[in-house]
Structure 1
Amino acid sequence: MAVRPILWSVSLFSTSLIVSWFIFEIICRVFVDNGMHYHLEMWKYSLRLKEVSPYAAIGHEHIANGDEVLMGVRVRTNSDGLRENGRAVANSESVRVLMLGDSITFGWGVDERNTVSAQLEEHFEKSLGPKVKVLNSGVGNYNTAMEVAWFTKYGLAMLPDIVVLNIFINDAEPTPIYSKINWWDRYLYSRVIFFGALDTVSRRLLGGSDWRSYYDSLYEEDSAGWLKMKNSIAKLADLCDEKGIKLIFVNYPELRQLNPYPFRHINTKLSALASQNKVPYIDLLNSVDMYNPETLWVSIPDPHPNSLATSVFANALNIKLMREFPEVF
């Protein structure tokens, strides 16, 4: 006889939970999603502009001919999956600079004309005329190993004269393994908000790894991601040398704290890695360390470089490339 009240209580609780979650989902869609919520916009990016690559080493790729608005800016990919203002790669440019990288190279949160690649091309055009094409192959959530795999499979066919390996501190992360996207992951805004908030709480209040200690852990000598990054960089250096392609490493700073910068020891490791592979190297920290960090962010709390930061980076990179490879230009 006591079973019926228990079933009724369970049913009432389950119904209340479903209704509450439904209301939460509506709140997330109507009020939270303002087009600038970092977790939601990254989720939309992964669903609408990315697909799992047929090559496991690459992980994921941009879809061809995508067109979305993310973080308040239009994002288009061309037929090669590059963020190239909707244009396919032509074969007529005199000099080609291929930018390998992640969301920073891609230009997360900045307009097409304000990516580092687009502004770098504008610098070249002002000094050299329209003889240089800068190709932006940046893809969000890539690491160095994925970038090198992408270059080996696709980038070589674009016949670059110069390859710029754009490095960010999280490039020593392991390559993700993908599983089939379920219904909850594909459609529920509330799930993105809930787990994003849960991650923040765990880091701040429950002793989870903060961003400083997390990045430090990536560069421990026995870290699998760091070892793979070093092997991939050596492979890229050898490949470019074999093909007669100029190669340069560019290190972008983590913009949450610039002075004092907490990762100079990691920059030293990256500089040594460049020297070991006989590749020119530029550390862009020096170009922005006098700024208030938040003035360089896409939004608070998203520390991706905004148009001011990308402008400073492009200017520094332009000067370095012109000095390093005068014979190319």
Structure 2
Amino acid sequence: MIKIRFPFKYLLVVVFSILIFLLVGEVLIRLYLHSRIIYDIEMSRYSMAAKADSPNSKIEHVHKPNVRGKFMGVHLRTNSDGLRDDEYPVGKTGKYRIIFLGDSLTLGWGVEEKDTFEKILESKLNQIRPTEILNFGIGNFNTEQEVNLFLEKGLKYEPDQAVLFYFINDAEPTPKKSKLWFLGYSQIITFYWSRMHAVINRFVPSTSFGGYYSNLYREDQPGWTQTMESFSALKKICAERSIKLQVVLLPELHYLKEYPFKKEYQQVSALLAALGIEHLDLTPFFKNIENPMELWVAKDDAHPNAKAHRLIAEDSFDMLSKPLQGKA
């Protein structure tokens, strides 16, 4: 029997060559991306620079305090409590106080802070009475995470009103941190993984875009169960503390004329109605938009841009302003 020897020094040469390739590739890809903005890279950078683990498994991650960075071409800062907002004292301040709960859309991903619907609404509501809005939006959050963040960090601010901005993927189960999270520091790995994923999705049959979201809302799905339980818990705590609770359903911006998730949003609306939570579905307000991409942050990123944020603020203003005017 012939034994094949593979000298250890050859193994070292292979390993060393791979490391050199990755190092050179990392430098080159960073130079390439210096003048380009790619969604997957920017979201990975945001996750590594702005997020920290939470000991609460129902929250999973939070924003680090006092972050200063530029992601998706816009500036992003957090205050000492990890909010993309100004500093606010805990307890009552004499102003009407609202907390906005949500994910990256509420955070204002890809939009300058002054152009977010939070800041626009804060300005408009201040014309009615002195008002401050605290932005609790965090990227990659679902309803369970948003509600538990409110319970853990929001109640100390003693809000008069809480508004949860709901998105179609909020019924996803709360994710667990990947054991390979550290690979996010490498832009070359992130870049080629996202390109490979795009190619696979193009040529290998898989669950459709609409099918994936629709499946989230089956009664046997754990994410939907978490969502129902979270809304119930949020309603209970707000009722106990006399906090006015409202929910705004935000549209998915790929298909607006023939919205593919009417059934799913009707399901969410039915749940909210059964719980006695005032809510507003914004999708009908967007149905006359001819080209949805004019509302996107970028060609590869369908997060709402500054124009879309203005529309969200305008269309939700009437409902959100009612409590300030004693109409709710």
TM-score, normalised to structure 2, is: 0.91
In 1, the alpha carbon distance for the partners of 2:307 and 2:238 equals 32
Q: Are the counterparts in 2 of residues 67 and 74 from structure 1 also a CA contact under 8 Å?
A: yes
Map of 2:277 onto structure 1? 279
Which of 184, 193, 215 matches 2:191? 193
Map of 2:114 onto structure 1? 113
In 1, the alpha carbon distance for the partners of 2:171 and 2:131 equals 31
Query: Once the two structures are aligned, what percentage of the paired residues are identical?
Result: 34
Q: Which structure 2 residues correspond to residues 143-162 of structure 1 after superposition, within 5 A? A: 143-162=142-161
- State the Cα distance separating 1:188 from its structure 2 match: 1.2
Map of 1:301 onto structure 2? 300
Q: Are the counterparts in 1 of residues 128 and 324 from structure 2 also a CA contact under 8 Å?
A: no
RMSD: 2.3
- State the Cα distance separating 1:196 from its structure 2 match: 1.3
- State the Cα distance separating 1:11 from its structure 2 match: 6.7
In 2, the alpha carbon distance for the partners of 1:32 and 1:102 equals 26
Q: Which structure 2 residues correspond to residues 212-227 of structure 1 after superposition, within 5 A? A: 212-227=210-225
- State the Cα distance separating 1:10 from its structure 2 match: 6.5
2:70 match: secondary structure: strand
1:154 match: secondary structure: helix
Q: Are the counterparts in 2 of residues 163 and 248 from structure 1 also a CA contact under 8 Å?
A: yes
2:325 match: secondary structure: coil
Which of 228, 239, 246 matches 2:244? 246
1:157 match: secondary structure: helix
TM-score, normalised to structure 1, is: 0.91
- State the Cα distance separating 1:113 from its structure 2 match: 0.5
Q: Are the counterparts in 2 of residues 123 and 315 from structure 1 also a CA contact under 8 Å?
A: no
Q: Are the counterparts in 2 of residues 95 and 328 from structure 1 also a CA contact under 8 Å?
A: no
Map of 1:46 onto structure 2? 47
AA aligned to 2:133 is V
- State the Cα distance separating 1:154 from its structure 2 match: 1.1
In 2, the alpha carbon distance for the partners of 1:93 and 1:289 equals 40
Change (3 A) 1:281 1:302: same
Gaps of 5+ in 1: none
AA aligned to 1:206 is V
- Tell me, yes or no, if structure 1 residue 63 matches structure 2 residue 64: yes
Q: Are the counterparts in 2 of residues 80 and 88 from structure 1 also a CA contact under 8 Å?
A: no
Q: Which structure 2 residues correspond to residues 130-145 of structure 1 after superposition, within 5 A? A: 131-145=130-144
1:96 match: secondary structure: strand
1:226 match: secondary structure: helix
- Tell me, yes or no, if structure 1 residue 87 matches structure 2 residue 81: no
Moved more, 131-140 or 15-24: 15-24
Change (3 A) 1:328 1:33: farther
Q: Are the counterparts in 1 of residues 38 and 300 from structure 2 also a CA contact under 8 Å?
A: no
Moved more, 193-202 or 109-118: 193-202
Moved more, 202-211 or 258-267: 202-211
Change (3 A) 1:179 1:273: same
